[in-house]
C-alpha cells in the first residue's frame, strides 16, 4: 500500500492539456512533456494535477486515447519525482443546441478542450443510453440545462450512471498510474428543482416517506418554513455525499481522493446541493478552489472566510488542506503563498484560466518562490467561529445578509488581527472541545439559531474555552 503522508508536503501545479495533446502518440509531445516535468521539479513542485480534459464523459468514444496520453505523462512525471492527480468532472457534459452554444463553449471554456459530441441521443456506454442519466427538472420533467457552462448534468442517483462511472474509474486506474483522484461537480443543477427523476423521487419517498409534490405546490417548494422542504435540501446534500462514499470504496486504498469545492458557506449552495461538509468524511484531503476572480488585497473578506470554512473541515476531520489559487503575476503568486502559509494550506498554483496573456505556471516559477513549510510541534490553537448550515438553510432568502455576511465579516476581522480562524460546522461544536484545542469560540448570529442549537450553545458556554456571542 502506498503511503498517503506525501500530501502533507505537497506543492501542486496544474498540468494543462490542450488540443495538441490529443495528437498522441508523438515524439514532439514526449519531448515537451519531459521538459515541463523537469522545470516543475527544478522549482520545487512535487505534484501535478491534470487539467483540460475536464468534461470527461464528452470523451466517451475516445477513452483509450485519453488513457494512453495520460499514461505517458504520468510515467514521465513519476520519472521526475512528481506525483500525479487525475482531475475530471464526473457529471457534467457539454450540450450544444445551436451555433450560439458552440460559441459560448469556445468563449467561456476555452481553457478546457471542449471535445464534445454533437448530440447525446445515440450515445451509449456499456450498452446503456447515456441520455437517460441526465438530471431532469421537477418543473416539467425535462432534462435540465445549465446555461453558465452550456452543459447538462448526470444524476448521481441513476443506477446505470453509478455503474458506468465506477466502471470508468476502474478502467482509468488500470490504465494510468495515478497517486490521487479529484472527481468534481457533484451538485444538482441549476436549482432546487433538480433532480426530479424517478430515481430521486423514489429515494426521497423511501428515506423520508414524502412524495415529491408538483412544482406548483408553493406550500412545499422554496418554503423554508416547511420541514419537508428542508428535508429535501438535506437529502440532496446526502445523496451527493454518497457518490464519494461509493467512489472511495471502489478506489484502491493507496490512491487519495478529493473533489472540487469552491464554497462551504454561501447561501446559494443549498439550491444546488453543494456541500463539502458531506463530502469530506470520504475524502483524504480537504480541497478549496479559490475562484479565479478573487484577488488578495481586494477580496480579503471572501478569501479569508471561505478559507476558514475549509480549514474548519480540516480541523474537524484532522485532514490536510489544499488551496488552489490563480495568480495574475509573480507578485500575486507570492501573496497567495503567504495566504496559504497563514491558513496552513498546501498550495496549488494554476495560471489564470480565462484571462489570455497572463503568465503560465512555468513562467511564474522562473523566479524563486518561498513555499509553505509547516514544522512539527506546538502550533498556536486557532479561533473557532460557529457556522450552522442548518440555520443558514432554514433562513432561506434572509441568510445572505442575516447569517452568512456576519460570519464573513467576523472571520476576516479575526484573521486581520493575525489569528487563524476555523469554521465550526454543525456536528463539530455542539459537544464542546478539549482544553487547548481552540483559543476561543465566536458565535455570530446566535439569536438566529434554532432552539436545539441554542441549547447546544449553552452547553458550549459551560466548557473550558472562552465563548463570545457576536
Q: Domain with 33 in it: what CATH number?
A: 3.20.20.80
- Rounded CA-CA distance 189/139 in Å is 13
- Rounded CA-CA distance 431/402 in Å is 25
User: Is residue 363 in some structural domain?
Assistant: no
pLDDT at 1: 36
- The pTM of this model reads 0.96
User: Is residue 400 in some structural domain?
Assistant: yes
What SS3 class is residue 120? coil
Share of the chain above pLDDT 70, in %: 99
Task: Report H helices in 124-226.
Answer: 159-175, 198-208
Angle, CA 457 vertex, CA 237 and CA 468 arms, to 5°: 110
pLDDT at 59: 97
User: Is residue 457 in some structural domain?
Assistant: yes
Same domain, residue pair 53 and 192:
yes
Sign of CA dihedral 205, 211, 214, 219: negative
User: Is residue 40 in some structural domain?
Assistant: yes
Question: What is the pLDDT averaged over residues 188-200?
Answer: 97
What SS3 class is residue 324? strand
**Which residues, other chains included, contact 55 with Cβ-Cβ below 8 Å and sequence gap of 6+?**
88, 89, 92, 93, 94, 112, 114, 116, 151
Show the cell assigned to 235: 437529502
Same domain, residue pair 25 and 138:
yes
Task: Please report how many Cα atoms fall inside a 13 Å half-sphere around the Cα of residue 457, on the Cβ side.
Answer: 23
Same domain, residue pair 389 and 275:
no
User: Is residue 423 in some structural domain?
Assistant: yes
Which one of 258, 284, 310 terminates a domain? 284
DSSP one-letter string for 80-108: TT-EEEEEEESSEEE--SSHHHHHHHHHH
Sign of CA dihedral 300, 319, 261, 340: positive
What SS3 class is residue 452? helix
Same domain, residue pair 267 and 393:
no
Q: How far is CA 313 from CA 9, 230, 238, 280, 388, in A?
A: 19, 23, 17, 7, 13
What SS3 class is residue 442? strand
Asked if 262 contacts 288 with a C-beta cutoff of 8 angstroms, the reply is: yes
Task: Please report how many Cα atoms fall inside a 13 Å half-sphere around the Cα of residue 263, on the Cβ side.
Answer: 17
pLDDT tens profile 300-340? 999 999 999 999 999 999 999 999 999 999 999 999 999 99
User: Is residue 63 in some structural domain?
Assistant: yes
Cα pseudo-dihedral 432, 436, 442, 447, rounded to 10: 20
Which one of 266, 284, 302 terminates a domain? 284
Structural domain containing residue 185: 5-284
Asked if 190 contacts 272 with a C-beta cutoff of 8 angstroms, the reply is: yes
Would you say residue 387 has pLDDT above 60?
yes
Same domain, residue pair 406 and 273:
no
Distance of CA 2 to the CA centre of its chain: 24
pLDDT at 56: 97
- Rounded CA-CA distance 40/47 in Å is 9
User: Is residue 61 in some structural domain?
Assistant: yes
Same domain, residue pair 30 and 171:
yes
Cβ burial 44-77 (10 Å sphere, 16+ → b, else e)? ebbbbbbbbbbbbbbbbeebeebbebbbbbbebb
User: Is residue 157 in some structural domain?
Assistant: yes
pLDDT tens profile 149-192? 999 999 999 999 999 999 999 999 999 999 999 999 999 999 99
Same domain, residue pair 230 and 111:
yes
- Rounded CA-CA distance 390/426 in Å is 8
- Rounded CA-CA distance 53/63 in Å is 11
Sign of CA dihedral 444, 447, 450, 455: positive
Backbone angles phi, psi at 376, to 5 degrees: -75, 160
pLDDT tens profile 346-357? 999 999 988 888
2 — pLDDT class (breaks 50, 70, 90) = low
Strands 467-469 and 440-443: parallel
374 — pLDDT class (breaks 50, 70, 90) = confident
pLDDT at 269: 96
Which one of 237, 262, 284 terminates a domain? 284
Instruction: Specify the number of domains making up the chain.
Output: 2
Among left, alpha and beta (phi > 0; psi -120 to 50; other), residue 178 is beta
Amino acid at each position: 500500500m502506498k503511503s498517503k503522508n506525501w500530501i502533507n508536503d505537497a506543492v501542486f501545479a496544474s498540468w494543462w492539456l490542450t488540443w495538441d495533446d490529443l495528437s498522441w502518440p508523438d515524439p514532439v509531445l514526449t519531448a515537451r512533456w519531459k521538459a515541463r516535468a523537469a522545470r516543475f521539479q527544478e522549482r520545487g513542485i512535487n505534484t501535478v494535477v491534470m487539467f483540460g480534459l475536464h468534461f470527461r464523459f464528452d470523451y466517451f468514444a475516445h477513452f483509450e486515447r485519453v488513457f494512453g496520453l495520460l499514461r505517458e505523462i504520468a510515467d514521465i512525471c513519476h520519472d521526475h519525482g512528481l506525483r500525479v492527480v487525475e482531475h475530471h468532472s464526473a457529471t457534467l457534459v457539454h450540450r450544444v443546441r445551436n451555433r450560439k452554444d458552440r460559441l459560448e463553449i469556445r468563449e467561456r471554456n476555452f481553457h478546457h478542450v471542449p471535445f464534445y459530441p454533437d448530440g447525446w441521443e445515440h450515445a451509449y456506454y456499456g450498452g446503456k443510453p447515456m441520455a437517460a442519466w441526465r438530471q431532469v427538472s421537477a418543473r416539467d420533467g425535462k432534462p435540465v440545462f445549465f446555461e453558465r457552462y452550456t452543459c447538462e448534468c448526470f444524476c448521481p442517483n441513476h443506477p446505470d450512471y453509478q455503474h458506468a462511472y465506477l466502471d470508468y474509474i476502474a478502467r482509468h486506474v488500470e490504465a494510468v498510474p495515478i497517486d490521487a483522484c479529484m472527481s468534481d461537480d457533484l451538485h444538482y443543477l441549476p436549482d432546487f428543482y433538480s433532480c426530479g427523476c424517478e430515481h430521486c423521487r423514489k429515494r426521497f419517498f423511501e428515506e423520508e416517506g414524502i412524495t415529491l409534490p408538483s412544482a406548483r405546490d408553493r406550500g412545499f417548494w422554496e418554503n423554508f418554513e416547511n420541514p419537508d422542504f428542508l428535508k429535501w435540501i438535506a437529502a440532496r446534500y446526502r445523496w451527493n455525499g454518497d457518490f464519494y462514499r461509493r467512489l472511495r470504496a471502489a478506489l484502491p486504498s493507496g490512491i487519495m481522493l478529493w473533489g472540487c469545492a469552491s464554497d462551504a458557506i454561501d447561501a446559494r449552495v443549498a439550491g444546488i446541493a453543494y456541500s463539502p461538509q458531506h463530502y469530506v468524511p470520504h475524502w483524504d484531503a480537504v480541497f478549496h478552489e479559490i475562484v479565479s476572480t478573487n484577488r488578495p488585497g481586494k477580496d480579503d473578506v471572501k478569501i479569508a472566510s471561505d478559507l476558514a470554512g475549509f480549514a474548519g473541515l480540516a480541523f474537524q476531520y484532522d485532514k490536510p488542506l489544499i488551496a488552489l489559487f490563480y495568480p495574475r503575476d509573480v507578485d500575486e503568486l507570492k501573496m497567495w503563498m503567504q495566504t496559504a502559509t497563514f491558513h496552513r494550506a498546501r498550495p496549488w498554483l494554476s495560471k489564470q484560466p480565462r484571462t489570455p496573456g497572463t503568465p503560465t505556471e512555468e513562467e511564474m516559477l522562473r523566479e524563486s518562490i518561498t513555499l509553505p513549510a509547516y514544522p512539527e510541534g506546538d502550533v498556536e490553537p486557532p479561533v473557532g467561529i460557529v457556522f450552522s448550515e442548518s440555520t443558514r438553510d432554514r433562513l432561506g432568502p434572509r441568510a445572505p445578509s442575516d447569517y452568512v455576511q456576519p460570519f464573513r465579516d467576523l472571520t476576516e476581522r479575526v484573521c486581520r488581527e493575525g489569528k487563524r480562524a476555523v469554521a465550526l460546522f454543525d456536528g463539530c461544536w455542539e459537544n464542546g472541545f478539549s482544553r487547548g484545542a481552540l483559543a476561543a469560540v465566536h458565535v455570530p448570529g446566535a439569536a438566529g439559531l434554532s432552539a436545539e442549537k441554542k441549547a447546544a450553545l449553552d452547553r458550549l458556554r459551560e466548557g473550558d474555552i472562552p465563548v463570545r456571542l457576536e
